[in-house]
Amino acid sequence: MVVIQKEKSKWYLCNPKKPKPLIKLHDKYFKPFLSEAQILAAVKSVAQKVAADYKDETPVFVGVLNGSFMFVADFLKEYQHPCEVSFIKLSSYQGLTSTGIVETLLDPPDNLEGKSVIILEDIIDSGRTLKELIHLFNNTNVKEYKIASLFYKSEVYNGEYAIDYIGIDIPDKFIVGYGLDYDELGRNLREVYQLNEKHMINLVLFGKPGAGKGTQAEFLKDQYNLKHISTGDVFRYNIKNGTELGNLAKSYMDKGDLVPDEVTIKMLQDEVEKHTDASGFIFDGFPRTVAQAKALDEFLKTKEMRIDATLALDADDEVLIQRLLERGKVSGRTDDQDESKIRNRFEEYNQKTAPLQAYYETQGKYHSVNGIGAIEDITRRLGKVIEEL
């Protein structure tokens, strides 16, 4: 259940069922910030406050384009009294920042003399645009004018002019949606998203065969803009494409020897460096030993990165055995069709993972997650751990 709470004109989204994924506009990622319900509640609040002051006359509402068009439309639905509507257009933003130069692209209407005007702004931050608005309406013969802003960044507003009606006081973060844009994208979003500032999250994903690591990695990488690095996939790619590292790894494998850790680490390093735009990585299938975990930590230090958490999908052996036997009927994999071989793989996993679990537990980074249930339920459990990081 989504619960909306209000405290000193600031709004909070409590207990969401499932974290919503990031969205990408041009080259930037944005994360959910305000729900449609929160926004509409704030719009209604502003409309009620204005109505209390102007219900006995016919005010003129002047929307500031382009950002305010959704606000104006929903505001008018809530304002149940006689009124007039017009628009003005100003501009100062390019990309993520203000140019500092405010241009008037559409002048105020001419028929405002003697009327009360309420300017409907989508957002007020530094106050540069507001200053230009005040200048424009000072040169008209209106009865009075007031300012209503749906979003208000009190942290950065210079306080030069009074803002009469405020919807939501928000932090000084770049937002899109509900009329607001990033280089013209995002205006049509019903909710408001906040710029996802770079915060690297690196995960190690553990799980016995059949625990659903691959499935969950796909969901997590999309939801958090992470790069899924499967050691098996990396090996197959390098060997298939005859890379220098692939040929080196194959030379050991052909002799029946284990591929040295430094070769595997170098492959992983190449994968990390291919994806510098990722918000983090999911390491799947590596590390398998404490020595490998230490080697991975040393490599990540050179990139000013670290492992933030290890997520272990915990599942009952008997449930997984049945899952693998069913999978074996479809996949044709012989190691999924023999129960004794499956149990041997589980035992090998337990032996190798136990020291790793202890290694990461001492760092406070080991998290066991229930891996039984519907896929979306497991994803939600994993997401809860990640959200708390």
381 belongs to the catalytic site: no
Predicted confidence (pLDDT) per residue in 290-344, tens digit = 999 999 999 888 888 899 999 999 988 898 888 888 888 887 777 778 888 888 8
Which domains are present in the chain? 20-195 (3.40.50.2020), 203-387 (3.40.50.300)
Long-range contacts of 156-164 (CB under 8 A, 24+ apart): 156/125, 156/126, 157/124, 157/125, 157/126, 157/127, 158/126, 158/127, 159/127, 160/127, 160/130, 160/131, 161/127, 161/130, 161/131, 161/134, 163/124, 163/130, 164/118
Distances from the Cα of 176 to the Cα of 12, 88, 260, angstroms: 17, 20, 48
Using the predicted structure, report yes or no on whether residue 173 has a pLDDT greater than 70.
yes
Predicted confidence (pLDDT) per residue in 142-152, tens digit = 899 999 999 99
Tell me what the mean pLDDT of segment 185-201 comes to. Answer: 88
Using the predicted structure, report yes or no on whether residue 10 has a pLDDT greater than 60.
no
* Residues contributing to the annotated binding site for ATP: 210-215, 327, 373
Using the predicted structure, report yes or no on whether residue 20 has a pLDDT greater than 70.
no
Higher pLDDT, 163 or 210: 163
327 belongs to the catalytic site: yes
Tell me what the mean pLDDT of segment 65-75 comes to. Answer: 94
115 belongs to the catalytic site: no
How confident is residue 4, by pLDDT bands cut at 50, 70 and 90?
very low
Which is catalytic among the residues 28, 208, 213, 323?
Answer: 213
Which is catalytic among the residues 44, 49, 89, 288?
Answer: 288
306 belongs to the catalytic site: no
pLDDT at 19: 53
How confident is residue 7, by pLDDT bands cut at 50, 70 and 90?
very low
Which is catalytic among the residues 327, 341, 352, 380?
Answer: 327
